[in-house]
């Protein structure tokens, strides 16, 4: 598919910084997998003149414009009216949408304002996109050699509408198949990985390989273009296999999205359970694990033992250990991991203790020093981390998050190393 698209996110609240615009990420990722080029993201307020200007500019550059927001029942929700006017189309009542809106309020046993029926007014001849998670239907308009796709602003409404209705529609327009796989790395920097693979990435034409970085992790996207999905998969298989062979220490998953999901899957596959004892991470490990649906099968206990007394009473850390070595020490991390495993009856115990800053660091134990303990019948270890970067802003959060990532990586390591 040689088409290009521009994303217009509509809402004054975006420009004011009142909400985070996550819709553009979801849309761009989906479009990239179909081979639709996205060259611009634009945010525009709830103003019909400025929206009309943005539409003129976007359609001058692209075949497809996808909008989010401005489909609500209030007076300033004018996306549909403005876009329909751009195509020269009147709005008409779409009876199935009207009935769906009435049923939505009826199901909640709430009265419906008549203004809500404004959401059922749709451009004549458009394809209506059903909203099963709210009251604002979307729409696809084709005309003037262009396509406008209107989606609601709330992500819980926008995402399923885009994935279940818009992507299949766009896929039918494609003259070829574009498929991607994402390979996730932890423990190796983007610059290191990129320098090792630079020559290959520059030489590759189909498939292609592109790196993306986030805190402590790197994602490599392998993308292939072919006439069929099976052919695209065949093109990518040797690339993925080669990377797995070269980087077994660092790759934690393919198409797995994040460390916590990889850890939960590994625990399930091995029939194991884990528990966490946290000091400097303050519950980050437990939070991230329980973000994964179904994690209750493998994670049943998280203990935040910030104070030394809690470490002693709950986890059985010896007072003599704390007195001799301190809370931030490999000895304490080991006893914390052993203690939470014993307390919970889990197969694997993981612990974190460290100096997250901004205060509390010393020459011997600087800000960013963290110990991660892992305890099981087959693997017992303590990993020392130096996570301080000297940031002026946000370093404490950075250290805590990255320490939790290392803890998740240790759970993954333990689950995958269990003897048969």
Please give the pLDDT value at position 2: 64
Tell me the pLDDT tens digit for each residue of 40-85.
Answer: 999 999 999 999 999 999 999 999 999 999 999 988 889 999 999 9
Q: Which stretches of 258-377 are assigned E, i.e. beta strand?
A: 274-278, 299-304, 348-354, 369-375
Beta-carbon neighbour count of residue 184 at 10 Å? 21
- Digit-coded pLDDT (tens) for 117-138: 999 999 999 999 999 999 999 9
pLDDT band, residue 405 (cuts 50/70/90): very high
Cα dihedral 156, 162, 168, 174 sign: negative
Tens of pLDDT, residue by residue over 333-355, are: 999 999 999 999 999 999 999 99
Q: How far apart are CA 276 and CA 12, in angstroms?
A: 42
State the Cα–Cα distance between residues 41 and 20, nearest whole angstrom: 14
**Contact in structure between 177 and 34 (CB atoms under 8 Å):** no
Q: Indicate if the pLDDT at residue 199 is higher than 60.
A: yes
Rounded CA-CA distance 151/168 in Å is 15
Average pLDDT over residues 24-46: 91
For the chain, what are the domain ranges? 4-173, 177-254, 259-417
Asked if omega into 207 is within 30° of 0 (cis), the reply is yes
Query: Under a CB-based contact definition with an 8 Å cutoff, are residues 130 and 141 in contact?
Result: no
Would you state the pLDDT for residue 3? 84
CATH of 4-173, one of 1.10.606.20, 3.30.200.20, 3.10.20.30, 3.40.980.10: 3.40.980.10
Indicate the CATH number of 259-417 among 3.40.640.10, 3.40.50.360, 1.10.260.40, 3.90.950.20: 3.90.950.20
- Average pLDDT score over residue span 148-153: 97
Phi, psi at residue 258, to the nearest 5°?
-160, 165
Residue keyed to tokens 């884990």 = 274
Mean pLDDT of 199-220: 91
Q: 277-304 burial string, b = 16+ CB within 10 Å, else e?
A: bbbbbbbbbbebbeebeebeebbebbbb
Say if strands 177-186 and 251-254 run parallel, antiparallel, or are unpaired: antiparallel
pLDDT-based confidence at residue 298 (cuts at 50, 70, 90): very high
DSSP three-state, residue 134: coil
Average pLDDT over residues 359-371: 94
The predicted structure's pLDDT at residue 1: 46
Residue 329: what pLDDT?
Answer: 98
| Record: fold of 177-254 | Alpha-Beta Plaits (3.30.70)
pLDDT in tens, 15-25: 999 999 999 99
Q: 33: pLDDT confidence band, cut at 50, 70 and 90?
A: confident
Question: Alpha-carbon distance 326 to 333, whole Å?
Answer: 10
pLDDT tens column, 1-12: 468 999 999 999
CA 28/CA 19 separation, integer angstroms: 19
Is 32 a residue whose pLDDT tops 90?
no
Whose CA is closest to 32, among 164, 221, 202, 232?
A: 221
Tens digit of each residue's pLDDT (9 = 90 or more) over 226-242 = 988 899 999 999 999 99
Percent of the chain with pLDDT over 90: 85
What pLDDT shows up at residue 142?
Answer: 97
CB half-sphere exposure, 338, CA atoms < 13 A = 13
- What size, in residues, is the chain? 420
Question: 332 with 338: CB under 8 angstroms?
Answer: no
Q: Name, in order, each residue with C-beta under 8 angstroms of 251's C-beta and a sequence gap of 6 or more.
A: 183, 184, 185, 243, 244
Percent of the chain with pLDDT over 70: 100
DSSP string, 330-361: HHHHHHHHHHHHHHHT-SEEEEEEE--SSS--
> What confidence score (pLDDT) does residue 328 get?
98
**Residues 327, 279 contacting (CB under 8 angstroms):** yes
Helix runs in 145-251, H state only:
155-161, 167-173, 190-203, 229-246
Query: What tokens does 98 get?
Result: 């009207």
Q: What is the mean pLDDT of the chain?
A: 94
For residues 327 and 354, the answer to whether their CB atoms sit within 8 Å is no
Residue 88's pLDDT is 97
């Amino acid at each position: 598919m040689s088409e290009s698209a521009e994303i217009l996110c509509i809402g004054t609240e975006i420009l004011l910084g009142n909400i985070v615009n996550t819709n553009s990420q979801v849309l761009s990722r989906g479009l990239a997998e179909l081979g639709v080029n996205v060259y611009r993201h634009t945010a525009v307020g709830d103003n019909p003149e400025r929206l009309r200007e943005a539409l003129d500019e976007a359609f001058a550059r692209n075949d497809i414009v996808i909008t989010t927001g401005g489909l609500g029942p209030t007076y300033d929700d004018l996306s549909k009216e403005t876009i329909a006017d751009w195509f020269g189309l009147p709005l008409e009542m779409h009876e199935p949408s009207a009935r769906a809106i009435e049923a939505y309020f009826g199901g909640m046993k709430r009265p419906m304002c008549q203004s809500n029926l404004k959401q059922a007014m749709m451009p004549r001849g458009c394809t209506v996109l059903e909203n099963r998670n709210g009251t604002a239907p979307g729409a696809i308009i084709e005309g003037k050699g262009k396509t406008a796709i209107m989606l609601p602003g709330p992500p819980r409404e926008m995402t399923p509408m885009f994935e279940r209705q818009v992507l299949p529609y766009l896929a039918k327009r494609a003259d070829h198949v574009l498929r991607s796989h994402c390979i996730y790395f932890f423990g190796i920097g983007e610059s290191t990985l990129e320098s090792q693979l630079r020559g290959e990435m520059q030489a590759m034409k189909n498939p292609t390989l592109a790196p993306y970085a986030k805190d402590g992790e790197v994602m490599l996207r392998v993308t292939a273009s072919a006439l069929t999905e099976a052919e695209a998969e065949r093109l990518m298989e040797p690339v993925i296999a080669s990377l797995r062979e070269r980087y077994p220490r660092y790759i934690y998953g393919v198409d797995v999205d994040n460390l916590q999901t990889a850890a939960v899957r590994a625990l399930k596959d091995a029939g194991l359970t884990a528990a966490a004892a946290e000091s400097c991470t303050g519950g980050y490990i437990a939070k991230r694990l329980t973000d994964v649906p179904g994690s209750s099968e493998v994670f049943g206990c998280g203990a935040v033992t910030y104070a030394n007394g809690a470490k002693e009473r709950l986890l059985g850390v010896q007072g003599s250990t704390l007195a001799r070595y301190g809370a931030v020490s490999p000895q304490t991390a080991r006893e914390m991991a052993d203690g939470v495993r014993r307390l919970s009856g889990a197969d694997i115990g993981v612990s974190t203790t460290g100096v997250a800053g901004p205060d509390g660091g010393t020459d011997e134990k600087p800000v960013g020093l963290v110990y991660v303990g892992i305890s099981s019948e087959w693997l017992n270890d303590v990993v020392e981390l130096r996570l301080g970067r000297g940031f002026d802003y946000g370093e404490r959060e950075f250290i805590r998050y990255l320490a939790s990532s290392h803890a998740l990586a240790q759970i993954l390591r333990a689950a995958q190393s269990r003897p048969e």
